[in-house]
Amino acid sequence: ETPGSDAGGGDDNIAAVAAEAIAALSQWLPEAFVPAPPEDGAESGRSGLHEAVWVQAALAISRVKRLAAKGGAARALLRSDVGVVYDELDEWIGARIGEELSVCERVIDLSQQAVEDQVALTSDWLVDDGVTLAVDPSRVLVKPPQSPPTPVVVPLDTRVLSSVQLKGLHDSLRRASTAEMGFEAADDEAALSVGVLSSALTRAAASDTELPEEWCAQADSQFASVCGLLDPDDTGFVLVSSAMAFFADPADGGWSW
């Protein structure tokens, strides 16, 4: 049964079919199926064939009426059952949709919370039977975060540049060389003028961390001496690699405190 069918309240097909059958059988009742008029000299009267047809037609009409009555009763009972079934089905579908929507809302809430907290979803989510949300810790979606690196304590010296200070000075001199030359040269070819080198060292000395304390104490006079050691031929230019080699080991470059 489906909504709108005969049992659900549509046309009464049983009654229509029964009426058609009764109309067809009525053609063989005595009122319609009468003997032919007697010929001259013949006896009139009905024959045994006509009586048999009349009886069978009447019986068939009676059977059709009984079948129509039984069919109508079954139809009424089925209509009642169909109504109950459809009510229960509609209620079940509504409840199911509500449960599935609840799971979808839960997934959206968890996803939004993860976005707001800026954290990754590390475990797989499973929706069991479409209505139960579960987290499966055995299925990892992303690699676990790496352990934080072991902190490295950089020793500070009042005269010797640390590895961090040397790297910062190298980057600063490389940027100054690129800006002055107009292009980025290789490490062993990058150069800068003595004036630019002195200015870069002075800016580094103005910071509290870029150079050791004693390099910053008398920056102007010391850096002038440094430039003299790095450019003994007074060419006016110094290689960045030469400057870095000097500050990595000033004593080897001729510096004395």
pLDDT digits (tens, 9 = 90+) for 120-174: 777 788 887 777 888 777 777 777 678 888 887 767 788 888 888 999 999 999 9
d(Cα 143, Cα 125) in Å, to the nearest integer? Answer: 16
pLDDT digits (tens, 9 = 90+) for 27-86: 999 888 887 776 655 555 567 888 899 999 999 999 999 999 999 898 888 888 888 888
pTM score, whole prediction: 0.41
The residue to which tokens 């063989």 are assigned: 28
Exposure of 110 by Cβ count < 10 A (0-12 exposed, 13-18 middle, 19+ buried)? Answer: middle
The answer to whether the beta carbons of residues 243 and 230 sit under 8 Å apart is yes
When the pLDDT of each residue in the chain is averaged and rounded to a whole number, the result is 84
